[in-house]
Homo-oligomer: A and B are copies of this chain.
């Protein structure tokens, strides 16, 4: 059964179970889906409102982009766990002969690369979604300010959670060039996205208090 076809309640249960997957990777993808979804909702609550007519164009355009990002994140909820399961599958490979050992090692490297690319993709999507959220601050329905703030928080959690997954999988990886590449690319995304998330949250908290 696909994870996204489970009920929310079942998904929380399987997350809490002793099965190592789904774990933090799929949880981060869910955060991304909810964050992008909330951004889309804030746009939907802005479109068609007289008070926000000057932001109508921005809201419509952003809603479409946020919905597309939401859909991509929903897909990754399952594909990230599949990438993890590929690592687990390597542990069942035979390791008696030198050839088997070499095949196992190569398969593990490929599987770990899959578990790096998947969260890295989440980081890219989350950074993109955070740009959308930033642009909406002060330019969307103020009654939904807390929702926009929760969008920023979920996307920050998504990118940081995905980063932990990148780090744990490239750590000690046999292909050092691959590891270095993803470490540098991931860090660059973080450097750009985290200040955006924090600034959006701070501005929205002020808005909720004034």
Interface residues of A (CB under 8 A from B): 3-9, 11-13, 15-20, 23-25, 27-28, 30-31, 33-34, 36-38, 40-41, 44-45, 47, 66-67, 70, 73-74, 77, 143-151, 153-154, 156-157, 160-161, 163-165, 167-168, 171, 201, 204-205, 208-210
Asked whether, in the complex, the Cβ of A164 is within 8 Å of the Cβ of B205, the reply is yes
Asked whether, in the complex, the Cβ of A27 is within 8 Å of the Cβ of B34, the reply is yes
Which residues of B sit under 8 angstroms from A24, Cβ to Cβ?
38, 146-151
Which residues of B sit under 8 angstroms from A28, Cβ to Cβ?
150, 153
New contact pairs (13) apart from A6-B7, A8-B77, A31-B154, CB-CB < 8 Å: A5-B7, A12-B37, A12-B74, A15-B38, A16-B37, A23-B144, A23-B150, A145-B164, A146-B167, A153-B161, A167-B208, A168-B208, A171-B208
Closest approach, in angstroms, between the C-beta of A151 and any C-beta of chain B? 8
Which residues of B sit under 8 angstroms from A163, Cβ to Cβ?
205
Which residues of B sit under 8 angstroms from A149, Cβ to Cβ?
24, 160-161, 164
Which residues of B sit under 8 angstroms from A3, Cβ to Cβ?
8
Query: A23, A45, A165, A204 — which one has the most chain B CB atoms within 10 A of its CB?
Result: A23
Asked whether, in the complex, the Cβ of B167 is within 8 Å of the Cβ of A160, the reply is no
Selected A-B contacts with CB under 8 Å, 5 pairs: A16-B40, A18-B45, A20-B144, A30-B30, A146-B168
Number of this chain's copies in the complex: 2
Asked whether, in the complex, the Cβ of B146 is within 8 Å of the Cβ of A201, the reply is no
How far is it, in angstroms, between the C-alpha of A30 and the C-alpha of B37 when the chains are bound? 14
From B4, B6, B31, B77, contact of A31 by CB (8 A): B31
Which residues of B sit under 8 angstroms from A205, Cβ to Cβ?
163-164, 167
